[in-house]
Amino acid sequence: MADVLWKIAHRHLPVGVPVTHIAPDGPHCPWCKGTLNSISHLFQQCPIANAVWSVTTSMAQILTPSNTNFPFIYLIHTRNKFKQRYARLLQSAAIQAIWLAYTKWAFGHEPLLNREQVLNLLLSLVLKYRNSDLYSHPNCPWPHYSRFQHLIPQRGN
C-alpha cells in the first residue's frame, strides 16, 4: 500500500493515457464508458469509488459517536490509538480494493468486477487486516463481521 499511496501522491499511478496500449478500455474508466480515467476519477469520482467510500464511511461510523458527521476525521484525530489504526485500515482497504479491481482488469486481463464484487473485495480486505497481528491486541475491540455485513449489497437487492 505504501507504494500505491506514494504513486497517488506523486501522480505516477498508471491510469488513463499512459496505459492506452495496455488496458482493454484504453485510457477510459472500465466502469464509466467514455470517461477518461485519471487518479482523481478512479479514487473519487467513479461510481465504484463512491460506493467503496460510502461503505467504508459506514464502517467508520460504527466506531464513532452517533452524532459524528465526519467519521474518518474523528477517528484519525482521536487520542485513541486503536481507533486511529482503524481509520487507516479502512482507508487502506478502500484504496487497495479500488486499485486491485482496476489492475486485475487493466493489466491482468481478468473479468471486470462489478460494484457488488468490488464491495465484497473491500470487506475481505478489511477482514484480512482485522485478523493480522496489528489488530490482534486484546484491548483492540474490532467489531464483529456481522456488524459490517449489512453494508454490502447482496445480489438481487
Q: Is the pLDDT of residue 129 over 80?
A: no
Convert the pLDDT of each residue in 82-118 to its tens digit: 888 888 889 999 999 999 999 999 999 899 999 999 9
Unique residue bearing C-alpha cell 460494484: 115
What local confidence, expressed as pLDDT, does residue 145 receive?
A: 47
* Cα–Cα dist 110/133, whole Å: 31
Convert the pLDDT of each residue in 38-58 to its tens digit: 999 999 999 999 999 999 998
What local confidence, expressed as pLDDT, does residue 157 receive?
A: 47
Q: Is the pLDDT of residue 5 over 60?
A: yes
Output the 3-class SS for 67-79.
CCCCHHHHHHHCC
**What is the domain partition of the chain in residue ranges?**
45-149
pTM exceeds 0.85 for this model? no
- Give residue 38's region: left, alpha or beta (phi > 0; psi -120 to 50): beta
Mean pLDDT, residues 121-135 taken together: 75
